[in-house]
Amino acid sequence: MTSATQIPDRSDIPLEQTWNGESVFENLDAWHSEFEAVSKEVPKFKDYEGRLSESPDVLADYWEFSSEISRRMIKLYFYGAMNNAVDSLEEAYKGLVGQVMGIFAQASQLSAYDNPELLAMGREKLMDWVKNHERLAIYEKRIDDLFRQQAHVKSAEVEAVLGMVSEPFAAASQIGGEITNTDMEFADALDSDGKPFPVTQSNIETVKGHTDREVRRTGWNNYADMHLKFKNSLAASYITSVKQNTMMYRVRDYDSVLHMKLFNHNLPTEVFTTLIDTYKKNLPTWHRYWDVKRRILGYDSIHSYDIWAPMTDKEPSVTWEQSVDWISAGLKPLGEEYVTAIRQGCLEERWVDRAVNKGKRQGAFSFGTYDTSPFIMMSYSNDLGSMSTLAHELGHSMHSYLSNKHQPEVYANYSLFVAEVASNFNQAMTRAYLFEAKKDDRDFQLALIQEAMDNFHRYFFIMPTLASFEYEVHERVNAGKPLTADILNGIMADVYAAGYGDTMTDDRERTGITWAQFGHLYEAYYTFQYATGISAAHALADKVLTGEANAVDNYLKFLSSGSSVYPLDALKIAGVDMTSPEAIERTFKVLTDLVDRLEGLIEA
């Protein structure tokens, strides 16, 4: 019997550890019934073609119909995507996402006339309708955004074609995900006694943070080696995605992929370059941390697989219920409604799919729809790292919860640029509470610093590193330069080498394949927004923790704003200006303080 059998089948997982899928659709038959019903409704988009300028009521009818169909399609998509994420081995769920992508593409094609027709009406006429007709009043910002993007909207015919390609373009990400989450089977890690330890997508973080260095080394190696085995297929998938991005920016007349991705949310490209420049300037902080950690671990040299090594052999065990209690205590300053929603979601309403099981994808995420709870997928492991992940994903969930509660559907979704603020805010608040509550417990302090540094490593080291990588890759494609798996690996290895400096002993080949381990890259220029998000989060948490006037109210207004205002303006409501490097520098100061605190514990 192999050690892989230690990972339970999905069917063996207790109900309370799974997400409440039956609250979305009672069963697969209910899903298929709704899919058929929506499929019959989508062709009705044609009923409005050429008629949007007919009257305010016709336009209001169209937008209300579009919103209803969108909500129903997204709910169908979510059910398939969530089930596939928690159980990719179940064949019944595999085709659901593809089916929904098909009707998404059809809806996009059939409604491609809307923006060209609206632009032809002119801003003045549309704004007059908005001001004088109650049913259209909520759409003022939407119209403003449409005319802001007017130069990049094509004719109805071209928009129809672009709508048609949305489904095949999604295949690049789907192929990459199938390879990494379904086709890959990792060799077991081995502990110091030669005993096997399973390696899966759902437990890789546990492997990397294992107390046994040999488990970490062999697990990290085996994980990287399997990605290297598939490097050419994964490279073909990712390069296709990059070339699709390049085609789209050229068709829509943007300056670059970066410009296209940021322009959609009214963000200047300087927010990207400021982050990368500030990050590179502060790399010596990371170099210092690698050396301090090497010393506390007692090693002559520190390697990539030691980054997640626990700094105490007395790391606390943290039950699910304890995590919820600590997170609730940390977030108490935000008020009773916020904390009550968290507790009910975690302990009663099954927002969180927390089991480790075969076929579960790696990582964690929060995902839901306007008409469902904000669900979370993660693998809970009774440790501080899992508690931190839960706090993080609950930040996303509460952001969605409050946006859905206070905004109409058209503005309920918030942009990627603000998405990582609420998640990292929750972690910062919980961490601050525990640093004080456990201030006399040296081992707990070490474990908490470990948790903090692991989080900073992911969002303030890996993500800017990936952002530097994807910028170079897109620039190469834009310039017509060749790209292969080995070229991708070389670019990745180079940017990691700068981050590691002289204090980290690197394994260049295995580090080079890191790009293939992050599906985030299929959403171009998403990764840098983790770093801007953690920066804004710490700046805002500091305001709440120091009792600054109106800090809590302003933060809750930010969470409730959805996309009713542009992202930079939403953050200004909360109290931070991300056009300046100040918040990024301030967060590097938090990082420096953690390294100082760690060095002090060594000396003590």
> Which pLDDT band, with edges at 50, 70 and 90, does 5 fall under?
very low
> Which pLDDT band, with edges at 50, 70 and 90, does 160 fall under?
confident
Structure tokens at 313: 């052999």
Active centre residues (catalytic): 393
Confidence at residue 159, expressed as pLDDT on a 0 to 100 scale: 82
Cα gap 323→378, rounded to integer Å: 14
Structure tokens at 263: 């322009």
Residue of 380, 391, 302 lying closest to 339 (CA atoms) = 391
Confidence at residue 386, expressed as pLDDT on a 0 to 100 scale: 93
pLDDT in tens, 340-394: 999 999 999 999 999 999 989 878 999 999 999 999 999 998 999 899 999 999 9
Confidence at residue 3, expressed as pLDDT on a 0 to 100 scale: 43
Q: What percent of the chain has pLDDT over 90?
A: 86
pLDDT of residue 537 exceeding 50, the answer is yes
pLDDT of residue 1 exceeding 70, the answer is no
pLDDT in tens, 310-344: 998 888 999 999 999 999 999 999 999 999 999 99
Q: How far is CA 312 from the centre of its chain?
A: 30
Beta bridge partners of 197: 189
Give this prediction's pTM: 0.85
- Mean pLDDT for 52-67 is 97
User: Helix, strand or coil for residue 306?
Assistant: helix
From residue 298, alpha-carbon distances to 12, 220, 549 in Å are 41, 20, 46
- Mean pLDDT for 71-82 is 97
pLDDT of residue 107 exceeding 80, the answer is yes
The kind and range of the H/E element at 61 are: helix 56-86
Tell me, which fold does domain 3-169 have in CATH?
Answer: Butyryl-CoA Dehydrogenase, subunit A; domain 3 (1.20.140)
> Which pLDDT band, with edges at 50, 70 and 90, does 416 fall under?
confident
Cα gap 429→407, rounded to integer Å: 26
Confidence at residue 344, expressed as pLDDT on a 0 to 100 scale: 98
Residues 6+ apart with CB under 8 A from 244: 169, 172
Sign of CA dihedral 336, 440, 457, 220: negative
Confidence at residue 276, expressed as pLDDT on a 0 to 100 scale: 96
pLDDT in tens, 163-220: 888 778 888 888 998 999 889 999 999 999 999 999 998 789 889 989 999 999 999 9
pLDDT of residue 92 exceeding 90, the answer is no
Beta bridge partners of 190: 196
Q: Among 2-11, 12-21, 272-281, 331-340, whose mean pLDDT is lowest?
A: 2-11
Cα gap 493→471, rounded to integer Å: 14
Contact criterion met (CB below 8 Å) for 543 and 556: no
